[in-house]
Homo-oligomer: A and B are copies of this chain.
Amino acid sequence: MANLSPDQLHSLLCDTFVRCNTSKSNADSVASALLAAELAGQTGHGLRRVASYSAQSQSGKVDGNAVPVAQKVAAATLKVDAANGFAYPALDLIQDQLPVMARECGIALAGVSRSHHCGVAGVVVEKLANAGLVAMLFANTPGAMAPWGGNKALFGTNPIAFAAPIAQGEPIVIDVSLSKVARGKIMAAKQKGEPIPEGWALGPDGEPVTDAETALKGTMVPLGDAKGTALALMVELMAASLIGANTADKASSFFDAEGPSPGVGQTLIAIDPLKIGGPDVMDRFAAMAQSIGDQSGARVPGHRRQQLRQQLTQDGITVDDDLLKDIENLGR
């Protein structure tokens, strides 16, 4: 096991992506996002993606040298073209421009098309909350869930993320993907040759299955059944149909290096809470966090990740030797 500081890990990732046909500026942005995922304890969106990302920029499925373009199409609306590159450089562009628009108009929207995997959705909105804004993110992902009662995947696992800044301390950060369980859990069961519990997934015929392999050929069950599917449709409409990105059924895999770019979409909404809420608004957000934290057994969403980040920033990030070696060898 190696132990790396956040800066060391960032440099390692940056160099790796540059070796793998990615511009310096894009590599910096992607490295920061993967590091943030690791620091949030979301390792499935962190170092484990490096090999797949690198393969995609090497094959050209992702354009590592893409330059995202943001165009202000109305006073509170920013249209962003990720240009079939990674999502993160486009999302970073939004972090620069959207707050200015939100502070002017009270609310502003950015839509990113021709995009890719946006990583930990909570990280994106948390950044905006750290700039004093309430933020909401809708992201679609390749087809994973069918409309309720159907059997063809029209929606991804489609996260909604939300963050609100609080008076003193770290923001409240909500990050919910709309499948009942993560697809990774089914992949893990398949690898171990174990069955999955009923209620996680449906087979290609739309019937419940417990065989992991059949489940991966079928669709995921949404959280909260019909209601969750309706929310997944909302995310799909917001993140893809609204802005002209590929819908889930047309998006290629975030993992393999073949085929066209996924071309998915992300829509961000930023709200200046001072405009609608007045000077006490962040105290009210803080009071809500306090009321939750005061109940034994309950937890303020986002706080566990924030504590982990603080700890890992201090102690360093432990990386498996094999994984580290694999990363160091990419593009050589």
Contact = CB atoms under 8 A, between A and B. Distances in A.
Contacts of A108: 76, 105-107
Interface in A296-328: 296-299, 301
A244 B284 contact: yes
Given A77-B106, A134-B238, A231-B231, 18 more contacts: A74-B105, A74-B272, A76-B106, A76-B108, A77-B272, A77-B275, A105-B105, A106-B109, A147-B292, A154-B292, A162-B234, A164-B241, A175-B230, A223-B228, A242-B271, A242-B276, A244-B281, A249-B291
Contact of A148 (B150, B244, B249, B298): B298
A174 interface: yes
Contact of A242 (B176, B225, B244, B277): B277
Interface in A202-232: 206, 223-225, 227-228, 230-231
B247 A288 contact: yes
A295 B151 contact: yes
Contacts of A111: 276-277
Contacts of A258: none
Nearest to A247: B288
Q: What is the count of identical protomers in the complex?
A: 2
Nearest to A148: B298
A71 to B, nearest CB: 10
A295 B146 contact: yes
B75 A242 contact: no
A292 B106 contact: no
A242 B134 contact: yes
B301 A233 contact: yes
A120 interface: no
Nearest to A291: B154
Interface string A144-181: 00111111101000001010100000001011100010
B233 A176 contact: no
Contact of A231 (B74, B75, B174): B174
Contacts of A228: 223-224
Closest 3 CB pairs of A and B: A77-B106, A223-B224, A150-B295
Nearest to A228: B224
A268 to B, nearest CB: 11
A83 to B, nearest CB: 17
Contacts of A7: none
A276 B109 contact: yes
Interface string A64-90: 000000000111110100000000000
Contacts of A77: 105-107, 272, 275-276
A287 B246 CA distance: 12
A273 interface: yes
Nearest to A162: B234
